[in-house]
Amino acid sequence: MKLLPLKKSALQAALSTLLIFSLTPSVYADGASRGLEIANEADKRDTGFVDSIAQMKMTLTNKQGQTNTREVKVKTLEVIGDGDKGLSIFNTPKDIKGTASLTYSHALKPDEQWLYLPALKRVKRISSKNKSGPFMGSEFAYEDISSQEVAKYTYKYINDETFNGVDCFVIERYPAYKHSGYTRQVVWVNKQEYRAEKVDFYDRKNVLLKTLTYEGYQQYLGKFWRPDAMHMINHQTKKATTLSWKHYQFKTGLTDKDFNRNSLKRAK
């Protein structure tokens, strides 16, 4: 019984390797620059939101179908030319209510992260090495929810495909930062709006690990697309996590002062 999944994984790995090799010669010439071009255009279209506040609800579902939820308030400050600043304040589970994390993300140098522990009133600077670990026990890794900067990956354009009836570019991206849990990600990018519709994540052994799909995109301020829900399915553990987003606000007047040690201690 135990052999079967192993065999399947090995087969998948072999197939995907084969796929890369068979595609490589024909697209190599312009694949990398075309991939980067698409990533740059997507980034350009999402530039200028200045800041945002949103309510996130995570629903974790295990193999048996049991669920757990977490509610997090997420504040983001756009930083032009570097990774964004983010403040996450946990409302549930209730035993960690008031816990907050502050992140200064960067493209290639390590992110800077602080954690506020309300019971001790203590701010702890923490290591940012843990990119591949689960965020709050979910199927989202820290690297999946951190600020997506163009320079964090190298790219390759693969082909055009339709996904759910939407015309997409299919690009591959390869993490350029240390300690990633992935060899590559395959992204289906909406051709018209340059927003991700689906991402396949391949683990360190280049076996399909997870699939992320985006649902209910809404446009804010006539420019910025944000999904109502993001569904992550782990193919290896059969566990799933859905992030539902509510009450999106943009250009609320947040500044650097709302993303420092003092504001972390006050975060509600």
Partner 1 sequence: MKLNKKSLSILLLALPAFNCMAEWSGDISLQNRYFINDPLPQNPQQHDNYLSISTEIEYYSDLNSSDKSITFTPFIRIEQYDKERTHTDIRELFYEQVFENWELRAGISKVYWGVTESQHLVDVINQTDNVENIDFEDKLGQPMVKASFEKDWGIVDLFVLPYFRERTFQGVEGRPRSFPVVDTDRASYESSDKQQNIDYALRWFKYFGELELGLGYFNGTSREPLFIFDANALVLTPYYPQMQQASIDAQLTTEEWLWKFEAIARDWQQVDNNNSQISDESFFAMTGGFEYTFVGVYESDADLGLVMEYLYDDRGIDATAFFQNDIMLGFRLAVNDADSTEALLGIIYDLDNQERLISLEASKRFADSWTATLEIRGFNNIDRLSRLKGIEQDDFIQLDVAYFF
Residues in the site for partner 1, rule: CB under 8 A?
60, 62, 68-69, 92-98, 110, 112, 120-130, 132-134, 137-138, 178-179, 181, 257, 260-262, 266, 268
Q: Tell me the closest approach of the beta carbon of residue 78 to partner 1, in angstroms.
A: 21
Compare residues 166 and 233 and give the one whose CB is closer to partner 1: 233
Residue with tokens 């800041």: 51
Q: Are 213 and 231 in contact (CB under 8 A)?
A: yes
Q: Which is closer to partner 1, CB of 61 or CB of 154?
A: 61
CB of 193 to partner 1, least distance (A): 32
Residue among 254, 58, 247, 74 nearest 147 (CA)? 74
Q: Give yes or no for a contact between 198 and 187, defined as CB atoms under 8 angstroms apart.
A: yes
* Nearest-angstrom CA–CA distance, 218 and 199: 19
Least separation in angstroms between residue 102's CB and partner 1 is 11
CB nearer partner 1, residue 68 or residue 206: 68
Contact 117/90 with Cβ under 8 angstroms? Answer: no
Amino acid identity at 130: N
User: Could you tell me the smallest distance in angstroms from the CB atom of residue 187 to partner 1?
Assistant: 24
> What is the spatial distance between Cα 14 and Cα 11, in angstroms, rounded to a whole number?
5
Q: Given the complex with partner 1, which of 92 and 211 has the nearer CB atom?
A: 92
Alpha carbons 33 and 118: distance in angstroms, whole number: 47
Q: Tokens 């299919």: give the residue.
A: 170
Residues 100, 90: contact at Cβ < 8 Å?
Answer: yes
Return the closest-CA partner of residue 84 out of 115, 57, 39, 49.
49
Closer to partner 1 by Cβ: residue 110 or 211: 110
Between 57 and 191, CB nearer to partner 1: 57
- How would you class 98 by CB atoms within 10 Å of its CB: exposed for 0-12, middle for 13-18, buried for 19 or more? middle
